[in-house]
Amino acid sequence: MSFKYFEDLWNMWYTELHNGAAGLTLKIKKVLYSGESPLQRIDVMETYEYGKMLVLYGSIMFTERDEFVYHEMISHVPLFVHPRPGRVLVIGGGDGGTVREVLKHGEVDAVTMVEIDPQVVEVSKKYFPTMSVGFSDPRLNLLFKDGAEFVKEDRENYDVILVDSADPVGPADILFREEFFSAAKERLRDGGVFVAQTESPFYHPDIVKNTYSILKKLFKEVHMYLAWIPAYPSALWSFCFCSDSLHPLRDFSEERVGKSGLELKYYNPEVHRAAFALPNFVKKLV
Ligand code: SAM
């Protein structure tokens, strides 16, 4: 059997299964870090196709090639709807991508970020400087706690709350429960906006259905929006925009996007509007 020397003798693959029977596989150049925090396994790998990626408990959190989609969409959709997003709370988000985007908004005076695992932040600082750039911003207050505990104990209120959680497994499971959503809502100022990442409608219909049924009990306005994230299961990813007074399209100010002067790679006013257009099979879930 003839080997194409380097090709055949030196390849290694990472596969993430989405439901035990389908998945994504990436050819790996190098494993840069493998470790375990008290909460989860943490890996950093360099891939041929997607750049470096952070993997927690064997699941892709982000890749350098497509992280901009997720982090722009979880941040700029709510921040261009809320008229004065002075105080922002981020639950999770240990890689720093969400706070990086939030801090691009000049109106944001203060960001509190509550991440349960300090080791994720350390790994991100070391291997992903473009992701963790926001950690040195003086407006950021970074706390290492369980987000569900934090929202119960905290007495501050916020204009925008973003839940950049991992999947509903392990420590993140509580972030998909009614007790967390209800306590988080107590931390929202009048006229505030709450956004959570809500998994894939294609692979996780039950999680989506359950999450939206809870949020619809708590908020007057509950609207799913979608983004295309190729490294995530099925690439069809969802977020939930919640508020008691603001609507993601009626109260969206396109002029503010122009005036912000932000140079973004995915988000723009047309994408903002189109993201809320749902395919029929997804509409049935929410
Ligand atoms: N964008 C990714 C996604 O959609 O899968 C998630 C980004 S970020 C890496 C998810 C973060 O949530 C992780 O750093 C994890 O440690 C953190 N996390 C999990 N459970 C948490 C909890 N209960 N409170 C705060 N942070 C939590």
CA of 26 to the centre of ligand 1 (A): 22
User: In which order are the strands placed within the sheet that holds 158-164?
Assistant: 140-144, 110-115, 87-92, 158-164, 188-197, 236-243, 221-228
H or E stretch covering 59? strand 59-63
Please give the pLDDT value at position 82. Answer: 98
> Which protein residue has the closest C-alpha to ligand 1 atom 7?
93
**Residue 175 DSSP class:** G
Please state the pTM of the whole predicted model.
Answer: 0.96
> Confidence class of residue 10 from pLDDT cuts 50, 70 and 90?
confident
pLDDT digits (tens, 9 = 90+) for 81-97: 999 999 999 999 999 99
CA of 250 to the centre of ligand 1 (A): 31
Task: Kindly indicate whether the domain formed by 67-285 is annotated with CATH number 3.40.50.150.
Answer: yes
Please give the pLDDT value at position 2. Answer: 54
Q: Rounded to whole angstroms, how far apart are CA atoms 137 and 140?
A: 6
pLDDT digits (tens, 9 = 90+) for 142-191: 999 999 999 999 999 999 999 999 999 999 999 999 999 999 999 999 99
CA of 232 to the centre of ligand 1 (A): 15
pLDDT digits (tens, 9 = 90+) for 110-145: 999 999 999 999 999 999 999 999 999 999 999 999
Residues contacting ligand 1 via CB (< 6 Å):
56, 61-62, 70, 91-95, 114-117, 120, 146-148, 164-166, 171-172, 174-175, 197
CA of 120 to the centre of ligand 1 (A): 9
CA of 136 to the centre of ligand 1 (A): 20
Closest ligand 1 atom, residue 117 Cα = 16
CA of 92 to the centre of ligand 1 (A): 4
Q: Which of 95, 117, 159, 164 is catalytic?
A: 164
> Which protein residue has the closest C-alpha to ligand 1 atom 19?
172
pLDDT of 7 higher than 70: no
> Which protein residue has the closest C-alpha to ligand 1 atom 6?
166
Q: Give the residue from 124, 168, 128, 166 showing the smallest Cα distance to 142.
A: 124
> Which protein residue has the closest C-alpha to ligand 1 atom 1?
61
Closest ligand 1 atom, residue 54 Cα = 9
Q: Rounded to whole angstroms, how far apart are CA atoms 70 and 49?
A: 18
Closest ligand 1 atom, residue 167 Cα = 5
pLDDT digits (tens, 9 = 90+) for 223-282: 999 999 999 999 999 999 999 999 999 999 999 999 999 999 999 999 999 999 999 999
Task: Kindly indicate whether the domain formed by 3-63 is annotated with CATH number 1.10.3720.10.
Answer: no
Please give the pLDDT value at position 42. Answer: 98
To the query of whether residue 164 is one of the catalytic residues in this protein, the response is yes
153 and 184 Cβ atoms separated by less than 8 Å: no
pLDDT digits (tens, 9 = 90+) for 25-76: 999 999 999 999 999 999 999 999 999 999 999 999 999 999 999 999 999 9
Q: Rounded to whole angstroms, how far apart are CA atoms 246 and 241?
A: 9
Closest ligand 1 atom, residue 148 Cα = 23
Alpha-helix residue ranges (DSSP H) falling in 130-188: 147-153, 178-186
Closest ligand 1 atom, residue 39 Cα = 16
All structural domains of the chain with their residue ranges: 3-63, 67-285
Please give the pLDDT value at position 172. Answer: 96
pLDDT of 283 higher than 90: yes
Please give the pLDDT value at position 207. Answer: 97
